[in-house]
Amino acid sequence: MPVTPFPRPKSMTTTSGGGPAADAPVRVVLDASTPAQGFRLQTSADGVTVTHADAAGLRYALATLDQLRADRDFTTTSYDISDHPDFGVRGFMLDISRDRVPTRRTLARWVDVLALARVNSFELYTEHTFAFTGEQAVWQDASPLTAADVRWLDALCASRGIELVCNQNTLGHMERFLKVPEHAERAENEDGFTMRGQHRPPSTVEPSAENAAFVQGLLEDVVPHFRTKRLNIGADEPWELGTGKSAQRAEEVGLGTVYFEYVTQVMRPWLDRGYTVEFWADVFGDHPELMDEVPAGAVPVVWQYDSPALLADVVDAASPGQVQEWRSLGVDVTALREGFRDRAKLLLEAGVPFWVAPGASNWNSLLGRWDNAVANMVDAAEVGLENSAQGYLNTSWGDHGHWDPPSVAFGPALFGGAVSWSLEANRDVDVAAVLSEAVLLDPTGLTGDVLVRAGGVCQALGAPLLNASPLCLVLREPDQLKPWAVPSPQALAAVHETLTGCLADLAAADPAAADGDVVVRELTQALRLSDLAVRLFQARADDGSFDAAAAPRLLTELEALLEEQRACWLLRSRPGGLADSLAEFSRLRHALLRAVG
């Protein structure tokens, strides 16, 4: 049977018989009328012809040809493939600040995966994990990327047709800087702030000219190591903005104006140098008065990490008290069901160009949330295409210790690349098969199948949550779980069976990729941690305490799993950040110790 390349092309016809010889020459035709990054690939008894308009189109055509050549029927099948991307920029963002900093080997592996998915932009999200000059007190324990690391990765990406892009936060998420005494006064609230009933250390810098100059210095230190003339300055989730040092200014001119005055100060020097500057649109998108303020070259990036289907499930399952709490915070409960359309509402109404940023749903999950990831990425592509968005940035975050192994995000990265290349052709692409056949080289097909099947256990728990899996929450904060985050006994039993089956199948898998043994080991660890989470739920009382009889066994198992978590981490990631990640288990350990007595 004819092979279907990955990503699936927009148009492909095949004819049996009369294919090219194995060593047939390739005729290359330059045609300016071919869409950007697109190509036409024709194979027949007369040979192989590639028509393209640019270097990217030629690259993708030849990569497709390589996939066709690998098929035994290549010489007896004629192909006519026409293809071009839905989105000009197809990006993937990897969080390397909370708390995993990848080794060079892991970064190179990511480049392989992204190149296969025709991702042409790779963003590294940093807060404190670049070795900024003069800031050793900030990064000394983080095993940061150095200038040499960035230049090496930049060259590797360039050789694969991928732009490496700096993504450095410059307003919120600056905790690691603000806890250093020399930077403490930069905080909007030096005493920290309270969120959801918990006190937190300062995270947002005061939106002052002095701080704009400070972060500009950070950018000047890191950006020149990236050859592309594009960067992302972040500026998302400035939780304390307008509540401390900028409160008076916010009252006078409005919070949105305070925000965008600062963001514009940070962007302007780069825009003047011809850079495209991305910034997250979570604050911007809530202020209609800012819609005509976007300077040329600046790009609001609209993020949304839960799918319309999950949002609807959460709303439908919410108690009256939960709905009232949302409304008291100004949340439009009805609009929650609209996904990206609600998130980008003001930009859509004003006609402001924007990019879309869905998520890989790997974080806060251990095994991923596969169903949500797929639906979220499709929603992003649909809304982006309807509004002629030029960029699609899939994101892989690392909130709360980045417990999930890198391989959990491989499948979402492939799917996001495929639907941002051609949504209609790839909505139902078999990612498990691509993982096994093209990424992990597993002839049994089991490794890819387990990655996708295990990613479905979150939905099977029947306790829909925003941005998290109950299995992750019970490991991190067992004494703080809301009633709606607790799965039913029946769902827990069913998920236990699924996890047990995944472990058995993974033991029979045979991935031949260079990191195949690492994938099996780290995925086994994630499955076992997830199963421990199931049994923690089963041993947990409504008040958050654990059954005294079960606690000693659970505590012993946890300690062994944390040792294996440490070992698996070091297979893919640098040692900096490991202690912080493991510390996220401390509340669970203390809860079990209390139960043991």
Per-residue pLDDT tens listing for the chain (597 residues): 789 999 999 999 999 988 999 889 999 999 999 999 999 999 999 999 999 999 999 999 999 999 999 999 999 999 999 999 999 999 999 999 999 999 999 999 999 999 999 999 999 999 999 999 999 999 999 999 999 999 999 999 999 999 999 999 999 999 999 999 999 999 999 999 998 778 999 999 999 999 999 999 999 999 999 999 999 999 999 999 999 999 999 999 999 999 999 999 999 999 999 999 999 999 999 999 999 999 999 999 999 999 999 999 998 888 887 787 777 666 676 777 899 999 999 999 999 999 999 999 999 999 999 999 999 999 999 999 999 999 999 999 999 999 999 999 999 999 999 999 999 999 999 999 999 999 999 999 999 999 999 999 999 999 999 999 999 999 999 999 989 999 999 999 999 999 999 999 999 999 999 999 999 999 999 999 999 999 999 999 988 899 999 999 999 999 999 999 999 999 999 999 999 999 999 999 999 999 998
pLDDT, residue 64, reads 98
Distance between CA atoms of residues 369 and 364, nearest Å: 9
Place of tokens 């492909």: 12
Place of tokens 């270097």: 55
By DSSP bridging, strand 77-83 and strand 11-16 are antiparallel
For residues 7 and 422, is the Cβ–Cβ distance under 8 A?
yes
Distance between CA atoms of residues 273 and 587, nearest Å: 48
> In a 10 Å sphere around its CB, with 0-12 CB exposed, 13-18 middle and 19+ buried, how is residue 430 labelled?
middle
For residues 119 and 413, is the Cβ–Cβ distance under 8 A?
yes
Distance between CA atoms of residues 82 and 64, nearest Å: 11
The answer, yes or no, to whether the previous bond of 406 is cis (omega within 30 of 0) is: no
Distance between CA atoms of residues 25 and 503, nearest Å: 47
Residue 388 half-sphere exposure, CB side, CA atoms within 13 Å?
3
Per annotation, catalytic residue among 163, 188, 237, 559:
237
pLDDT, residue 328, reads 67
pLDDT, residue 2, reads 83
Closest CA to 300 of 330, 247, 335, 264: 264
Q: Where are the domains positioned within the chain? A: 11-83, 89-304+352-429, 306-338, 447-596
> In Å, what is the CA distance from 137 to each residue of 129, 366, 550?
12, 31, 43
**CATH classification code of 89-304+352-429:** 3.20.20.80
In 3-state terms, what secondary structure has residue 214? Answer: helix
Place of tokens 């699936």: 8
In 3-state terms, what secondary structure has residue 595? Answer: helix
For residues 24 and 47, is the Cβ–Cβ distance under 8 A?
yes
Q: Verify whether residue 237 is a known catalytic residue.
A: yes
For residues 167 and 231, is the Cβ–Cβ distance under 8 A?
yes
Q: Which residues of 484-493 are buried (b: 16+ CB within 10 A; e: fewer)?
A: ebbbeeebbe
For residues 79 and 41, is the Cβ–Cβ distance under 8 A?
yes
Integer-rounded Cα radius of gyration of the chain: 25
Q: Which residues of 562-594 are buried (b: 16+ CB within 10 A; e: fewer)?
A: eeebeebbebbbbebbbeebbebbeebeebbee
Closest CA to 313 of 430, 423, 462, 460: 462
> In a 10 Å sphere around its CB, with 0-12 CB exposed, 13-18 middle and 19+ buried, how is residue 367 labelled?
buried
**Domain with residues 11-83, CATH architecture:** 2-Layer Sandwich (3.30)
Scanning 130-208, the segments in alpha helix (DSSP H) are 136-139, 147-159, 175-178
> In Å, what is the CA distance from 522 to each residue of 174, 408, 529, 564?
30, 9, 11, 9
For residues 355 and 389, is the Cβ–Cβ distance under 8 A?
yes
What's the one-letter identity of residue 80?
D
Closest CA to 81 of 65, 96, 92, 97: 65
For residues 529 and 475, is the Cβ–Cβ distance under 8 A?
yes
